[in-house]
Chains A and B, each alone.
Chain A
Amino acid sequence: FAGLADVSISGEVPVEGEITVPVSSHAPDEDFSTLDEPVRDTIMRDLKAVGKKFIHVMYPKKSSALLRDWDLWGPLVLCVSLALMLQGGAADSKDDGGPQFAEVFVIIWFGAVVITLNSKLLGGTISFFQSLCVLGYCVLPLTVAMLVCRLVLLAGAGTISFIIRLIVVVAMFGWSTLASTAFLADSQPPNRKALVVYPIFLFYFVISWMILTFTPQ
């Protein structure tokens, strides 16, 4: 600093030059102000993101797209459709033991919150909403199983249909658990993976049980 003491810049020296702000491409500008774009663009962008995540769930690879850009649209759509399909059908019957919409909804979200809290308490590095996002998206195979079960039940409710439904539900349950484990277990310390996987197993087991024991009136 001592050397700089005798450096003096006189005020008369004009500073010359060019200041050019590099004009970047058009796209970053649009990212900052998405208010001006047409609604169709916004919706298509969100739909594409949701669709991409669905594909990630069906083919679980170790990609971080699900984790990085989390969104809760997909889980909401899946949860609502599953709850609608699980409606007892005979809403006015006194003996209706079928799960109501609210029951399924609450089970899914409450279960997901509990699993997230558990994984965070066990030392997980994943954030709250990222975990909710993953668990919600991994309900997709079970929703597909529900669709298949409903179609099979249209054909009849005998032993064969039960066996088919059992196989389908068990397969989808395994797929769901594996998919969510693939995403969530990496964020845990390696020796505690089993502790995190068990609640996920229980959660999807309860949902699979509700699907398997569904009989339309």
Chain B
Amino acid sequence: RWGRARGAARGRAERALTLSAPAQGGGSAVIDMENMDDTSGSSFEDMGEMHQRMKEEEEDEAAEGEAGAAEEEDGEFLGMKGLRGQLGRQVADQVWQVGKKQASRAFSLYANIDILRPYFDVEPVQVRTRLLESMIPVKMINFPQKIAGELYGPLMLVFTLVAILLHGMKTSDTIIREGTLMGTAIGTCFGYWLGVSSFIYFLAYLCNAQITMVQMLSLLGYGLFGHCITLFVTYNIHFHSLFYIFWLGVGGLSTLRMVAVLVSRTVGHTQRLILCGTLAALHMLFLLYLHFAYHKVVEGILDTLEGPNMPPFQRVARDIPVVSNAVLNTTAKAIALTL
């Protein structure tokens, strides 16, 4: 390792230059360790460079004297002299320090959660208002509507959807062979939120719509509120037509809201059509998918209203007892009949 560092120091003049630059806090010190040439001869300029740097780091030499002495044996083993061993060691040290500084700077930049802090700066009242507004389509589409770039509400809605899906999967016949229930739910919900947001953002870029990524994430996240309500209700009351009513009504309202906001931010008929058509289709189809893929309607229960002699569900592992579901179903059917 020391041999390679020495090769780097001696072999290339330009590398030597870049090594000294970061000492003043400048650019990058990327050393290509693979193309080392240990036996390359040194040029006079390089040696001059080395001497210059040695003089600058004179205070470290005393501390590293012993280390240098230990490196001399290494140097002799590789056929280098003691002086170059010390140089190599200092160069390697400098490389290490610069690399560490770079890494800690990068880490503090990317792992700093303060980047996300402004997107979580909300009050509970604001969240509630936005939740309710996400079901109300705006009428004014000639004026760009304001979208709050906030991530708390959407994130909580995605997690709520995950919880509701879990609840739905466990009260139905879903058997997941590969992967766990939780993994599937999380993957589906987060995949939809992030994936469809990115896709619509890409389309918006193509269609010249005025929307940023965070705003798109926020818009789609709040659009999942309708999904949450629909699924929560229909997972407990297994009633086919009820689901379709909710799908069109609640799902349709939240889709209309998103579509209206996007339309207000896009110019041109074709672009509006493409963007909003895609979003509406994906949003509504997702709700349909969640209901039918994760929920198997046991139609026997609705057809055979036999009271306490009801045949048990064909279920696996865990389920809530038959009684509560049957009661809910019969109540719903009775209400529908009386209406």
Asked if A99 and B181 sit within 8 Å, CB to CB, the answer is yes
Task: Tell whether, in the assembled complex, residue B317 and residue A121 are in contact, meaning their CB atoms are under 8 Å apart.
Answer: no
Contacts of A100 in B (CB 8 A): 180
- Say yes or no: A97-B176 contact (C-beta < 8 A), given A103-B182, A213-B318: yes
Tell me if B180 and A102 are in contact (CB < 8 A): yes
Give the chain A neighbours of B316 by CB distance below 8 A.
95-97
Chain A residue with minimal CB distance to B114? A121
28 A-B interface contacts by CB (under 8 A)? A95-B175, A96-B316, A97-B170, A97-B175, A97-B176, A97-B317, A99-B180, A102-B180, A103-B181, A121-B113, A121-B116, A121-B117, A121-B120, A122-B120, A191-B123, A192-B123, A195-B124, A199-B159, A202-B156, A202-B159, A202-B163, A205-B163, A209-B166, A209-B170, A212-B320, A213-B318, A213-B320, A215-B317
**Shortest Cβ-Cβ A-B pairs, 3 listed:** A97-B317, A213-B318, A121-B120
| Chain A interface size range | 35 or more
- In the assembled complex, which residues on chain A have CB atoms less than 8 Å from the CB atom of B318? 97-98, 213-215
- For A97, give the chain B residue with the smallest CB separation: B317
CA distance A49 to B123 in the complex (A): 37
A103 near B122 (CB under 8 angstroms)? no
Report A-chain residues with C-beta under 8 Å of the C-beta of B121: 123
CB proximity to A under 8 Å, residues B145-199 = 152, 155-156, 159-160, 163, 166-167, 170, 174-176, 180-183
When the two chains form the complex, which single residue of A96, A107, A209 contacts B317, counting CB atoms closer than 8 Å? A96
Within 8 A of A (CB), among B116-134: 116-117, 119-124, 127
| A205 cross-chain contacts in B, Cβ below 8 A | 163
A215 vs B170: C-alpha distance when bound (angstroms): 12
A118 CA to B154 CA, complexed, in Å:
13
Task: Name the A residues within 8 Å of B176 (CB-CB).
Answer: 97
Contact of A117 among B113, B167, B174 (CB under 8 A): B113
Q: A113 vs B73: C-alpha distance in the bound complex, in angstroms?
A: 50
Chain B residues within an 8 Å CB radius of A213? 170, 318-320
From the candidates B116, B119, B180, B317, name the one contacting A103 in the complex (CB within 8 A): B180
Minimum distance in angstroms from B256 CB to a CB of chain A: 27
Instruction: Give the interface of A toward B (CB within 8 A).
Output: 88, 95-100, 102-103, 106-107, 114, 117-118, 120-123, 159, 162, 191-192, 194-195, 198-199, 202, 205-206, 209, 212-215, 217
The answer to whether B323 has its CB under 8 Å from any CB of chain A is: yes
A215–B171 CA distance with the chains assembled, in angstroms: 13
Contact B175 A206 (CB under 8 A): no
* Minimal Cβ-Cβ distance residue in A for B167: A209
Which residue among B156, B159, B317 has the maximum number of chain A CB atoms within 10 Å of its CB? B317
B174 closest partner in A (C-beta):
A97
Is B268 interfacial (CB-CB < 8 Å)? no
Closest CB of chain B to A40's CB: distance in Å? 40
Taken together as a complex, chains A and B put the C-alpha atoms of A202 and B113 apart, in Å, by 23
- Give chain B residues whose Cβ lies under 8 Å from the Cβ of A212: 320
Known contacts: A213-B170, A215-B318. The answer to whether A202 contacts B160 by CB under 8 A is yes
Chain A residues positioned under 8 Å from B170 (CB to CB): 97, 209, 213
A120 to chain B: closest residue by CB: B113
Partner of A95, one of B156, B181, B317: B317
Across the interface, name the chain A residue whose C-beta is closest to B186.
Answer: A110
Task: For residue A145, give the distance in angstroms from its CB to the closest CB of chain B.
Answer: 15
CB distance from A24 to the nearest CB of B (A): 35
A162 with B320: in contact, given A103-B180, A106-B182 (CB under 8 Å)? yes
A103 near B183: Cβ-Cβ < 8 Å: yes
Apart from A95-B316, A212-B320: 4 A-B pairs, beta carbons within 8 A: A88-B317, A195-B122, A202-B159, A209-B170
Cβ of B25 within 8 Å of any chain A Cβ, yes or no, is: no
Contact of B156 among A117, A159, A199 (CB under 8 A): A199
Residues on B with beta carbons closer than 8 Å to the beta carbon of A95: 175, 316-317
**Residues from chain B with Cβ under 8 Å of A117 in the complex:** 113
